Every structure is written in structure tokens, then in C-alpha cells.
């Protein structure tokens, strides 16, 4: 019989048509599986959050097929969904959060399943459930929320998990703390968000879900408001139609009929002039948003970071770089750091219990994991066979150097 896979952390990251799971032992990623879901299977559910049990059953089946020793799991960490606006950090999933995720208090999105799945699995395994830096992280300055219309307030809905993870990585790279530098980070995926990270807080960012900012492969971004209002009252479009034009059927797919950037670049290489100008317009808008965010910190940015799936496109990266590199050095982190960022919970909670607030990793005052006594209990439960003082000392020895810089 094959030896069982021993891991400590299960990470669950639900997407629109897939669920990505990773297993970690300490900070080492030992298994990753991307589970694709059939559109017709997901279509059976009225809301994305109703898919939680369906996705969870498949996850458990895959883990058993891979011969994972579930008795060794100490925490299940889910991608944070559309809950009430909160500070960045690490949060225990509780009954109130579960109710908000099921209800879709800030909107319905597949990411809502992250906390729900983590909670249900944790109950059956008798371990802890967390979310980290959900998309509704709100650290915006009050001045940034003023829209120009009292009826509407600017919202903070962005790729918080990946942006903050990349922010901490770049801080390590330049030998500084995330809490002492200024960054402008652009996450470029199905949606595009550009955040101004000032001393560890995202003080301004565009709402990449259905608000403002650059257009993306499938979202319209900011559009001329007068024309949008007229479009709403022509009688040609329903409320649902207009929502889809903004999110899902907007942006690149509306112009070119595809949201696959590889297909778009192929068309450009084949001489398609329409594809070329739309592609360049997207790069132009991203660069313009980066420039706008630089004014928030008076131009004093330590670095500009391009991340997300589209950062794999050298063509896109160079179009942006040539417009913004006068502001600050441009760093590129293709893809997403979300799975590793979620897994770091086990180390975040240990350091939080010791008051390592300057580490810059989920140590905000509102973080429910920062109680020294409660965290000592968690650590003790996980390590009954080791003296608690010895255990904490060993952790500090192992991580102090990295966490001082990161």
C-alpha cells in the first residue's frame, strides 16, 4: 500500500469554473490539484455560494484518491469571499461569517465558497478554519471613498490576497519591511485591480469587480457615465444585460469575442489591427491607473509590481513598463501567489501570538488571531508533545530573520 501523504494545511481556492487545492507541510507545497467543474454541473445552483457542498465533496474525494492522511491536518484555509469590509489579515471562520458568505452580503461570487468549504471540512476534521486577505479588504483612506455623488461611495473590492502576498515578497527582495515601503501593485487577470500600498495599507484601489479602473479581458472598467445611463433606458437592455456588459461580457471579450489573451496575441501577430489597438488600449489604461495611484503617495513609490496571469505576457508588460518606469522600478511576478499566501497562516498565527506586528503579515490590530493567550492555546493544542516555550523559541529562531525583513 502506498505511503500516506502527510500534510498540515489544506488550502482551498474556488474559481468561476474550477477549484484549486494545495497541501502544505510547514511552508513546503507538497501537492496541488486543479479541479475543473463542468458548466452544466455549476448551472444547477442558483447562487455561487450554493456550490460549496458540491465542491467540497469533490475535494474530499480527490484527497482520498491521493491517499492524504487527513488526521494530520491542523488547519483548512479558504480564499476570502465577499464578506463585510474588513482590515487585511487572517481571520477565523465563525458562524457569523458563514451566514454572511451564504447570504452574499456584499455580492455573490465563487470565492464565497472558500470560507464555507474550509469551515465544513474543519468541523469534520476537528481543526481550525481561516480566511486570509479577502477581496473586500478595506484599508482605503476616507478621502479615497468620495465618488463625487453622495448616492455612491467608492468601494474596496480587489485582489487583496495576491496583491499583499506579492507586496511582502517585493519587500523581502529589497530588504525592507512591507510596513515601511510604498508600492503600486497591478493584478492583471479576468479583472484588473491597481492598488496603492502605503506602509502596509492599501489606501486606494479601484473596484475591479464592477466599479472602475482599466477594462480587462471580461470587464468594462470605467466607462463614460452619461452614455451608460442612456444605454440603461433605451429599452434594449434588461438590468441583467447591463450587469453582464459590465462584468462577464465587457472589456476584451466585448470587442474581440474572446477573453483568451493568447488568442488575442496570435491575432495581433497575424496582422489583426483591431486586436492590436484594443490590446494596446488595455495596456494604456493599466499604465494610466498606475500613474494615477502614484499621485496618492506624491510620486514616492519604492516599486511598481505587475502580477496576475496576464503578467506572463511580455508584450503587455513592456507596453506598460515603457509608460510607467519613470515613476519607480518595475518588477514582474507572473501568475498568482495566492495558494502559498493562504498556507502561511500557520506561521502568521504563531508570530501574531508573540506580538510580531512589524512583520507585515496579517498583524493588524483588528486581527482576531492576535490574542497571545488564545494563540498559545492553539499552539499548545497542535503541539501537545512539545514544551510550549521550547516550541515558540524554535519558531522565533527559524523565522525571525525572514520576518524582520518581510
**pLDDT per position as a tens digit, 235-245:** 999 999 999 99
Q: Output the pTM of the full model.
A: 0.77
Q: Which of 298, 313, 336 is where one domain is finished?
A: 336
For residue 305, the number of C-alpha atoms closer than 13 Å in the C-beta half-sphere is 29
- Note whether residue 382 is domain-resident: yes
Least confident of 13-17, 45-49, 230-234, 340-344: 340-344
Do 30 and 168 sit in the same domain of this protein? no
- Note whether residue 238 is domain-resident: yes
- 357 C-beta neighbours (distance < 10 Å), count: 16
* Residue 392 pLDDT: 41
Contact assessment for residue 59 and residue 42, using Cβ atoms and an 8 Å cutoff: no
Do 194 and 332 sit in the same domain of this protein? yes
- Note whether residue 2 is domain-resident: no
For residue 255, the number of C-alpha atoms closer than 13 Å in the C-beta half-sphere is 22
Do 330 and 350 sit in the same domain of this protein? no
Looking at the chain, the whole-number percentage of residues with pLDDT higher than 70 is 82
* Residue 16 pLDDT: 78
> Whole-angstrom Cα distance, residue 231 to residue 52?
36
Q: What is the CATH number of the domain that holds 152?
A: 3.30.420.40
Do 165 and 71 sit in the same domain of this protein? no
Q: pLDDT category, 132, cuts 50, 70, 90?
A: confident
* Residue 145 pLDDT: 97
Quick one: how far is CA 112 from the chain centroid? 12
Least confident of 30-34, 128-132, 209-213, 371-375: 371-375
Q: pLDDT category, 343, cuts 50, 70, 90?
A: low
Beta strands in 93-181 (DSSP E): 128-132, 146-149, 152-153
Number of domains in the chain: 2
> Whole-angstrom Cα distance, residue 86 to residue 156?
10
Q: Higher model confidence: residue 210 or residue 264?
A: 264
- Note whether residue 42 is domain-resident: yes
- Note whether residue 55 is domain-resident: yes
Q: Which of 313, 336, 359 is where one domain is finished?
A: 336
> Whole-angstrom Cα distance, residue 242 to residue 52?
28
Is the pLDDT at 368 greater than 70? The verdict is no
Is the pLDDT at 93 greater than 50? The verdict is yes
Of 231, 73, 222, 201, residue with least CA distance to 140: 201
- Note whether residue 1 is domain-resident: no
The model's pLDDT over 208-237, given as tens digits with 9 standing for 90+, comes to 988 899 999 999 999 999 999 999 999 999
Do 126 and 210 sit in the same domain of this protein? no
* Residue 342 pLDDT: 66
- Note whether residue 4 is domain-resident: no
* Residue 213 pLDDT: 97
The model's pLDDT over 32-67, given as tens digits with 9 standing for 90+, comes to 999 989 888 998 999 999 999 999 999 999 999 999
Do 332 and 351 sit in the same domain of this protein? no
Do 109 and 153 sit in the same domain of this protein? no
Do 324 and 361 sit in the same domain of this protein? no
Do 67 and 132 sit in the same domain of this protein? yes
Q: pLDDT category, 253, cuts 50, 70, 90?
A: very high
* Residue 38 pLDDT: 87
Do 307 and 207 sit in the same domain of this protein? yes
Domain holding 26, by residue range, is 9-136+340-405
- Note whether residue 319 is domain-resident: yes
Q: pLDDT category, 338, cuts 50, 70, 90?
A: low
Contact assessment for residue 211 and residue 247, using Cβ atoms and an 8 Å cutoff: no
Q: Which of 288, 312, 336 is where one domain is finished?
A: 336
Do 178 and 297 sit in the same domain of this protein? yes
Is the pLDDT at 12 greater than 50? The verdict is yes
Do 207 and 228 sit in the same domain of this protein? yes
Amino acid at each position: 500500500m502506498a505511503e500516506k501523504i502527510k500534510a498540515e494545511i489544506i488550502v482551498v481556492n474556488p474559481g468561476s469554473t474550477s477549484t484549486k487545492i494545495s497541501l502544505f507541510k510547514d511552508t513546503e507545497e507538497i501537492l496541488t490539484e486543479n479541479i475543473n467543474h463542468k458548466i452544466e454541473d455549476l448551472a444547477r445552483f442558483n447562487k455561487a455560494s450554493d456550490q460549496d457542498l458540491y465542491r467540497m465533496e469533490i475535494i474530499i474525494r480527490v484527497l482520498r484518491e491521493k491517499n492524504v492522511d487527513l488526521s494530520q491536518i491542523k488547519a483548512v484555509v479558504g480564499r476570502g469571499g465577499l464578506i463585510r469590509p474588513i482590515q487585511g489579515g487572517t481571520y477565523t471562520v465563525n458562524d457569523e461569517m458563514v451566514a454572511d458568505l451564504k447570504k452574499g452580503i456584499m455580492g455573490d461570487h465563487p470565492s464565497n465558497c472558500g470560507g464555507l468549504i474550509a469551515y465544513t471540512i474543519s468541523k469534520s476534521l476537528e481543526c481550525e478554519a481561516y480566511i486570509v486577505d479577502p477581496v473586500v479588504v478595506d484599508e482605503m483612506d476616507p478621502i479615497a471613498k468620495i465618488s463625487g455623488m453622495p448616492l455612491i461611495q467608492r468601494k474596496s473590492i480587489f485582489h487583496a490576497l495576491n496583491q499583499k502576498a506579492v507586496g511582502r515578497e517585493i519587500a523581502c527582495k529589497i530588504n525592507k519591511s512591507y510596513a515601511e515601503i510604498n508600492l503600486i501593485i497591478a493584478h492583471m487577470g479576468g479583472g484588473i485591480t491597481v492598488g496603492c500600498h502605503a506602509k502596509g495599507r492599501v489606501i486606494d484601489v479601484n473596484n475591479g469587480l464592477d466599479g472602475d479602473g482599466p477594462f480587462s479581458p471580461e470587464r468594462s472598467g470605467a466607462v463614460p457615465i452619461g452614455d451608460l445611463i442612456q444605454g440603461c433606458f433605451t429599452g434594449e437592455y434588461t438590468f441583467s444585460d447591463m450587469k453582464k456588459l459590465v462584468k462577464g461580457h465587457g472589456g476584451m471579450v466585448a470587442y474581440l469575442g474572446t477573453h483568451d489573451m493568447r488568442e488575442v496575441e496570435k491575432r495581433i501577430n497575424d496582422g489583426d489591427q483591431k486586436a492590436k489597438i484594443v490590446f494596446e488600449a488595455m495596456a494604456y489604461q493599466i499604465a494610466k491607473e498606475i500613474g494615477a495611484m502614484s499621485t496618492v503617495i506624491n510620486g514616492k513609490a519604492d516599486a511598481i509590481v505587475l502580477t496576475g496571469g496576464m503578467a506572463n505576457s511580455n508584450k503587455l508588460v513592456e507596453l506598460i513598463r515603457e509608460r510607467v518606469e519613470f515613476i519607480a522600478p518595475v518588477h514582474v511576478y507572473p501568475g498568482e501567489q495566492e495558494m502559498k499566501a493562504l498556507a502561511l497562516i500557520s506561521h502568521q498565527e504563531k508570530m501574531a501570538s508573540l506580538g510580531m506586528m512589524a512583520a507585515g503579515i496579517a498583524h493588524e490590530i483588528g486581527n482576531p488571531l492576535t490574542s497571545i493567550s488564545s494563540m498559545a492555546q492553539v499552539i499548545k493544542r497542535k503541539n501537545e508533545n512539545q514544551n510550549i516555550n521550547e516550541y515558540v523559541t524554535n519558531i522565533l529562531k527559524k523565522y525571525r530573520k525572514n520576518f524582520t525583513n518581510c
